[in-house]
């Protein structure tokens, strides 16, 4: 199935649109103490940028410019080329920090004029690293500090595995280029090391951070993302920090030559409650389930030990039905008494 471009090659990324509630800030070039922070990325990057704006609040020390392209992917610069767009976006704007969060749409074929490379194939990996390098080089050429964020854990085990592959490659290039890399996996895993859609806010209150699709962050989750980024900026980003290794380790898995394009661009909108909601041509949740049902048992995907995901997708053991549900067969009829 041919991909239909979701956005023209030179279309400017969104600013102050669906994934962020902040309009373009006023020019603050005459305020030397203000750090202008540029956000670039996909739908999740836009949501994170909105959360960062809320975390900063009225602090005059920081100014956020949230530029994002919901459908963009580092694997598809033919659709939107961040590397060539960054100089135009940053021209004369006096940015001091750039924050990058992109990857949701990256498990697509990388296409050239003469070839197409399947996700995670050796050719795809080489080309993807080059695409990441191009973006980092474009940012460093603007003389700004760079904070690169890895992908948070995803609810679907196979999609999560793919995102770990993407993150591992991004982390490798970030460290090689001498920029700050921030792990978003550990902060959003449960105490047992498995995926969770919940977390604690700044007040220590347990909150639901994510939608049932296992991908989308609610407003509270975006706030947590933003706070993590703000902490990284405040703690200094001149020298890359030593980050924990991805857990679990993900093997390189050969992908088929053709990847279903339904897993491609993800689009975003914000509902009446301020929650960022993702959509795709075939709906991301259905796409993930369709593509990976067989792969989970055949392509070496690693799931957290003793997790529900391991029991279901690796061992084939269904979780016990809750007491009283229609498929709960533990019911015992009461004994009749005379």
Residue 299 lies in a domain: yes
Q: Which residue do the tokens 């990325």 mark?
A: 41
Whichever domain contains 113, its CATH number is: 3.40.50.1110
- pLDDT 10s digit of each residue in the chain, 338 long? 333 333 333 344 554 444 433 444 444 444 457 899 999 999 999 999 999 999 999 999 999 999 999 999 999 999 999 999 999 999 999 999 999 999 999 999 999 989 999 999 999 999 999 999 999 999 999 999 999 999 999 999 999 999 999 999 999 999 999 999 999 999 999 999 999 999 998 788 999 999 999 999 999 999 999 999 999 999 876 543 334 334 434 444 343 333 334 444 444 444 444 444 444 444 444 444 444 443 444 444 455 666 666 666 556 666 666 666 666 666 566 666 55
For strands 145-149 and 180-182, give the pairing.
parallel
Separation of alpha carbons 19 and 187, rounded Å: 22
Residue 321 lies in a domain: no
Number of domains in the chain: 1
- Let me know if 117 is exposed, middle or buried by CB neighbors in 10 A (0-12, 13-18, 19+): buried
Paired strand residues for 181: 148
Sequence-ordered list of residues with C-beta below 8 angstroms from that of 333, at least 6 positions apart, any chain: none
Cα dihedral 213, 16, 136, 223, rounded to 10, equals -50
* Domain ranges, residue 274: 14-314
What are the phi and psi torsion angles at 192 (to 5°)? -90, 5
pTM, two decimals, is 0.66
What Rg do the C-alpha atoms of the chain give, in angstroms? Answer: 21
Residue 39 lies in a domain: yes
Residue 264 lies in a domain: yes
């Amino acid at each position: 199935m041919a991909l239909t471009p979701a956005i023209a090659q030179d279309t400017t990324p969104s600013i102050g649109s669906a994934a962020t509630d902040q309009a373009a800030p006023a020019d603050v070039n005459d305020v030397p103490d203000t750090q202008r922070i540029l956000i670039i990325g996909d739908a999740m990057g836009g949501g994170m940028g909105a959360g960062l704006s809320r975390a900063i609040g009225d602090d005059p020390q920081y100014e956020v410019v949230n530029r994002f392209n919901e459908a963009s992917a580092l694997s598809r610069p033919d659709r939107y080329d961040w590397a060539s767009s960054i100089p135009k976006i940053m021209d004369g704007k006096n940015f001091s920090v750039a924050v990058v969060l992109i990857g949701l749409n990256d498990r697509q074929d990388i296409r050239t004029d003469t070839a197409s490379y399947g996700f995670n194939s050796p050719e795809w990996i080489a080309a993807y690293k080059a695409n990441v390098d191009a973006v980092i080089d474009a940012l460093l050429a603007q003389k700004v500090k760079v904070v690169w964020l890895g992908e948070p854990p995803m609810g679907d085990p196979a999609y999560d595995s793919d995102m770990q592959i993407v993150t591992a490659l991004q982390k490798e290039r970030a460290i090689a280029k001498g920029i700050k890399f921030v792990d978003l996996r550990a902060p959003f895993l449960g105490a047992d090391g498995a995926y969770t859609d919940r977390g604690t806010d700044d007040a220590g209150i347990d909150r639901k951070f994510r939608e049932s699709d296992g991908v989308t962050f609610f407003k509270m989750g975006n706030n947590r993302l933003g706070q993590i980024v703000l902490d990284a900026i405040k703690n200094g980003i001149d020298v890359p920090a030593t980050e924990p290794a991805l857990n679990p380790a993900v093997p390189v898995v050969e992908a088929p030559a053709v990847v279903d394009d339904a897993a491609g661009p993800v689009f975003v909108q914000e509902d009446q409650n301020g929650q960022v909601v993702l959509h795709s041509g075939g709906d991301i949740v259905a796409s993930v389930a369709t593509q990976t049902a067989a792969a989970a048992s055949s392509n070496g995907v690693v799931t957290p030990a003793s997790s529900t995901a391991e029991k279901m997708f690796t061992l084939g053991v269904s979780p016990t039905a809750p007491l009283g549900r229609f498929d709960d067969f533990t019911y015992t009829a009461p004994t009749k008494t005379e």
